[in-house]
A and B are shown apart, each in its own frame.
Chain A
Amino acid sequence: MNQKNKTEISRRSFLQVTAGAIMLSGISLPESANAAKSEGLATIIDLSLCDGCVNRKIPACVSICKEINKNKIPLPVEPIPEPWPRKMIEDWSKKQEVFDRLTPYNFIYVHRAEVNFAGRKKTIYVPRRCMHCENPPCATICPFSANHKFKNGAVVINQNQCFGGAKCRDVCPWEIPQRQSGVGIYLHVLPGFMGNGVMYKCDLCFDRINQGQLPGCIEACPREALLIGAKKVIQAVALERVRRMKGYIYGMEQNGGTSTLYISPVPFEEINKTMTKKSGQPDIKMNVPRRMAGTDPLGKMVLAAPVLGLAAAGAAGAWKWFSRRKEKMNKKEGENG
């Protein structure tokens, strides 16, 4: 019942700030989000609405995310096996309360940005979590395919399949996934030599979406700063809001496009100036190319390689046939004198 009320509030509030029939569908509604699962979901994080929950100890989105995922990670083994030869244990199990950065126990945090823009000082709050990219390198080149992008747009790490090599963090432009050592399947294989735990990050509340519920952060946001819906609708809404507020958008182009669209009344370059990229605290720079895009032309040639081999075999066969025919003819001519 509570869920239903919240959903209705979401819809009403949304209708107050946006207009048009297109926006009626697929925004912050579990049913619509559910229906849009096959075509893909996207989210809006509207920085003009987010106030960082300054009146709360922990922002609502962070708080509910922690609550939903509090039992996700099993207790790490004691002692945590020391990886060889580089000894790099990452153990957050005794610092689970941390909420001002990404950790295996904290999938979202809110950055406070004091920005000078158009001669005015402005405070902007930026919730940061996985962007759920269109073609996420973290998932596509996971060596065990433990990380996968699903039809509904959520990029999800299966903690039962992940070895914690942190390759996903290395290829993520924002270095979002965070490692907890001492848990996971690697403990049952060669813990000293292979793997180092499990990578954790926001999964867009994959299970809740599948059950027809909203992601926790979206449901809990008291200011409706976060929205979810069918990707096309969300993109249209984001662009419309940006147009109305003469604002700025982030996430449409970055890393080849993402399913998370930030909209802001101030340029992201200004927000980025307040961010220093640190472990668990990503920046928000504008120029984020999808590095794997450079490999796509070669990959397409690989897909065409069987045809290339076939053509080469045909050419070699034809060459051999003509050579032999010529040889025979020369021989015949020689015999005829």
Chain B
Amino acid sequence: MAEKILTQKNLVVRHSTVELIEHWAIAVSGLVLLMTGIFELPVAKRYYIITIPGLGWTADFITSLYLHYSAALVFTAAAVFHVVYHTARGEFGLLPRKGDFSASIAVIKSMFGFGEEPPMPKYLPEQRLAYAGMAFSILMLIISGLVKTYKNIYAPDISHTVVLWTTWIHNIFFVLFFLAFLAHMAAIALKPNWPLVRGIFTGRVRLAYARHRHPLWLADIEQKSGGTEIDKTGQAAGVETQQENAPSTREKRR
């Protein structure tokens, strides 16, 4: 468990190095896949994209395919790694829980000044729902993409029905993945989420932010660490947080 309260630095470790590598591998390769996926449509010439300096290659579908395959290699391997690694470690904090939908509405309303945001664990309910949606899109894109790749190399004459299904699944989830990406970016644009941006680059968020928004998470870290990884000041702060939110923590576990 990489999560750790670094009281002297006023930070909390939110993501391990492995998690950061996973996130950025999927993010960067996913973006390349989105871009080259668009360029697999006959749009570059029609929309004069080829006239933009440096984008002359975009009308060459084979060049786009090289890039698409390269990104798909990273994307698929990272996605499989993510599932296997975290399942093996029993880390399921991002999976949706009962009540996430109504809790998400409360959180979103609070962001716009309607009501108070309830104390949160490490991940917000809408983050968990978004994760499920994104993960399902990625799963469908990978499965359909693998079938299309197999067809391209080994079996151009496989059943047309299979090809049509995989193509349309790929195309529809491409659109959903693109919308999910836009929603992901939109979430970052909301002020309450700004402190999390630092976390996805450095793996650490400010302790004050975590204490204010994710007290259940801090309580969880303290309980797991047994205070051993926290210095004296941190223990005092931790106890404070734990006392304040002890009922919620118990409720979550139950």
Residues in chain A within 8 A of chain B (CB atoms): 40, 83, 85-86, 88, 134-137, 139-141, 143-145, 148-151, 153, 161, 165-167, 170-171, 291-292, 294-296, 298-303, 305-306, 308-310, 312-314, 316-317, 320
Contacts and interface: CB of A to CB of B under 8 A. Distances in A.
Interface string B11-50: 0000000100000000000000000000011100111100
Contact of A170 (B18, B61, B168): B61
B219 to A, nearest CB: 23
A291 B66 CA distance: 11
Query: What 6 pairs between A and B have smallest CB-CB spacing?
Result: A309-B80, A165-B42, A305-B76, A313-B84, A309-B77, A298-B69
A137 to B, nearest CB: 8
A303 B85 contact: no
A136 B156 CA distance: 8
Interface in B189-217: none
A305 B157 contact: no
A212 B66 CA distance: 41
A88 B46 CA distance: 9
B232 to A, nearest CB: 20
B152 A141 contact: yes
A193 to B, nearest CB: 9
A295 B62 contact: yes
A302 B146 contact: yes
Given A165-B42, A295-B66, A302 B81 contact: no
Contact of A308 (B46, B77, B157, B160): B77
Interface string B64-94: 0110011011011111111011001100000
B65 A295 contact: yes
Interface of B: 18, 40-42, 45-48, 59, 61-62, 65-66, 69-70, 72-73, 75-82, 84-85, 88-89, 145-146, 149-153, 156-157, 160, 163-164, 167-168, 171
Contact of B41 (A139, A165, A302, A320): A165
A140 B152 contact: yes
A86 B49 CA distance: 11
A144 B156 contact: no
B47 A317 contact: no
A86 B145 CA distance: 31
B70 A298 contact: yes
Nearest to B84: A313
Given A143-B41, A299-B149, A309-B79, A317 B73 contact: no
Contact of A305 (B18, B59, B80, B150): B80
A170 B82 CA distance: 38
A148 B163 contact: yes
A312 B151 CA distance: 26
Contact of A317 (B45, B72, B88): B88
A145 B48 CA distance: 25
B160 A299 contact: no
B154 to A, nearest CB: 9
Nearest to B164: A145
Given A299-B149, A316-B18, A135 B156 contact: yes
Nearest to A312: B81
A119 to B, nearest CB: 42
Nearest to B87: A313
Contacts of B80: 305-306, 308-310, 313
Contacts of A298: 66, 69-70, 73
Contacts of A303: 146, 149-150, 153
